[in-house]
Amino acid sequence: MVLNVFPFPWLTATLALVAGSGIMLCSWCMNFVKPPKVDSEFWLALLPVAIAHTVGHVAATVSMSKVAVSFTHIIKSSEPAFSVLVSRFMLGETFPTPVYLSLLPIIAGCSLAAATELNFDLAGFLGAIISNLAFVFRNIFSKRGMKGRSISGINYYACLSILSLVILTPFALVVEGPKLWAVGWRRALLLIGPDFLWWVVAQSVFYHLYNQFSYMSLDEISALTFSIGNTMKHVSVIVSSILIFRTPVRPLNIIGAAIAIIGAYIYSQVNN
């Protein structure tokens, strides 16, 4: 909703990190959450994770500014395919045959959905693809860099948000800049009124809460349960966004999305 009237994805992405960083800094100061004990080595290990997270976050936001939310999440449901391919060809890992076979419906479904998308935009499509790749590398760097370190999921994502904000802010200033933001902000307020401010606050806070609870849940549930939940997340986002925004879809587009989601679910079953 924000991007429809304020087409500045770099600032929108930055504000989400501002909200998350602010929430966690206040939580630490008020002792709602015990601050983590981190050193320079921790931040150095976190740097490649934060770079990948920043790229993935911005790319996904750019994608949603160009295409329907549903289409972005259809493409993002193919992240398991990227994870397997990157691990196989860049890290030399091998997987059981069922894992490779589970990628076929994911790739086929996403290809069908993209080919039949009524509002297809190359920049939006590439944004979703880049986001997938970046988040795969984020997970790889996170697993390597955090090995042997004891830090809770909530504090880990808090530190990740803060470092990502530091990385993203100068790029957002260069790519878009305050002059364009000011013009766009005034236009959005004229179109929507004061409610626009609440839209911006809501998208920023809920982005942080979604990711925060994701990292917290990894401390409490199995990888399989998390994978199934992630699959259901894509289903709920795709369906709800089509209903809310009344996104025009073709039958083949729906079939492609369903095939991709089913493939992602099968992957979560055979890879655990």
pLDDT score recorded for residue 224: 56
Predicted confidence at residue 227, as pLDDT, reads 64
User: What's the total number of domains in the chain?
Assistant: 1
pLDDT at residue 225, as a whole number: 65
Indicate the pTM of the whole model.
Answer: 0.90
Please give the DSSP secondary-structure letter assigned to residue 1. -
Structure confidence by residue, pLDDT tens digits, 155-208: 999 999 999 999 999 999 999 999 999 999 999 999 999 999 999 999 999 999
pLDDT of residue 213: 87
Tell me the one-letter amino acid at 86.
V
- Contact (Cβ atoms closer than 8 angstroms) between residue 146 and residue 44: no
φ and ψ at 87, to 5 degrees? Answer: -65, -35
Q: What is the pLDDT of residue 149?
A: 72
Instruction: Provide the domain limits for residue 231.
Output: 2-105+115-270
**Residue 54 in domain:** yes
Q: Which segments of the chain have a pLDDT < 50? A: none
Per-residue pLDDT, 222:
62
Structure tokens at 94: 């091998």
Three-state SS sequence of 164-206: HHHHHHHHHHHHCCHHHHHHHHHHHHHHHCCHHHHHHHHHHHH
Do the domain assignments include residue 110?
no
Euclidean distance between CA atoms 66 and 229, whole angstroms: 27
Q: What is the pLDDT of residue 148?
A: 67
Residue 98 inside a domain? The answer is yes
**Residue 145, pLDDT score:** 67
